[in-house]
Amino acid sequence: MRVKRVAGNWKMNGSLVSNQALLEAVRSAAEPLAAIECVVCVPYPYLAQTQQLLRGSRVAWGAQDVCQFAAGPYTGAVSAAMLRDFGCSHAIIGHSERRALFGDTDDGVAAKYEAAHAAGLQPILCVGETLDERQAGHTEAVVARQLDAVLRRVGVGVLAQGIVAYEPVWAIGTGRTATPQQAQAVHAFIRALVAERDVESAAKLPVLYGGSMKASNAAQLLAMPDIDGGLIGGASLDGAEFGAICRSAADAAR
């Protein structure tokens, strides 16, 4: 059985002062929840603070992006090895905001995925369609194209060592959540796509849902058979809300 996972994506939010209370709240919320994996992905400058406050806890931490190159003249970039230096175990790769605002292409995302995996990070690969693409009936084609780019580069065995997050772009930060049935349908599609290459990899691949998940809708989403957890944006900035989502995940794991 796949373990349930809850990952927070803080995006470009936080300060040394506000992070302290949030990290302490997440740490204590996760403490009794042995059945789930809990991760927070914080802005780069706060990795040292996060490492200091979460070391020895049940909460892992990671970054929201990584450079595809190992080292050298890449001004402004951060390598996977640097993330490892700060105790990161995860990195979000290919978030829709990076694809839409910072020019991440399918092939670029695949290269970042490979670099993260090679350095020992567990990539959280984000895929998902825009509203126009959904309304045009292209959801499966878009998700398949985004996944195929990574599968072509690293193969199915490596993909299954990471995590996929299905994040419909129209649900991110909008308060508009996919229904459990809508999300389940795409999650099952992702698993079937991976199963065409290798059934065992498909069975073990964690597929998280992301898009306005919060304490009030988490239980219904997490009850679906192919939804293995959540990638949480806005609600991860509130310790009580994030803790409640983690408890829903633990309940769903029972």
Element (H, E) at 124: strand 122-127
Q: Which of 114, 167, 187, 241 is catalytic?
A: 167
Q: Measured from the CB of residue 131, what is the shortest distance to ligand PEP in angstroms? A: 14
What is the DSSP code (8-state) at residue 178? P
Q: Is 95 a catalytic residue?
A: yes
Q: Is 167 a catalytic residue?
A: yes
Residue number with CB closer to ligand PEP (115 or 183)? 183
Residue 193 neighbours by CB under 8 Å, 6+ apart: 143, 144, 147
Q: Measured from the CB of residue 212, what is the shortest distance to ligand PEP in angstroms? A: 4
Residue ranges that bind ligand PEP, judged by CB under 6 A: 9, 167, 172-173, 210-213, 231-235
Between CA 146 and CA 169 the distance in angstroms is 13
Residue number with CB closer to ligand PEP (146 or 212)? 212
Q: Measured from the CB of residue 90, what is the shortest distance to ligand PEP in angstroms? A: 13
The closest residue (CB) to ligand PEP is 233
Between CA 88 and CA 51 the distance in angstroms is 8
User: For residue 122, how many other CB atoms are within 10 A of its CB?
Assistant: 19
Q: Measured from the CB of residue 11, what is the shortest distance to ligand PEP in angstroms? A: 6
Residue number with CB closer to ligand PEP (111 or 235)? 235
Q: Measured from the CB of residue 157, what is the shortest distance to ligand PEP in angstroms? A: 26
Residue number with CB closer to ligand PEP (62 or 233)? 233
Between CA 62 and CA 202 the distance in angstroms is 24
Q: Which of 37, 90, 95, 133 is catalytic?
A: 95
Ordered alpha helix ranges (H), the chain: 16-30, 47-54, 80-85, 96-101, 106-118, 131-135, 139-154, 156-159, 180-195, 199-204, 215-222, 239-253
User: For residue 253, how many other CB atoms are within 10 A of its CB?
Assistant: 18
Residue number with CB closer to ligand PEP (63 or 231)? 231
The residues annotated with a catalytic role in the active site are 95, 167
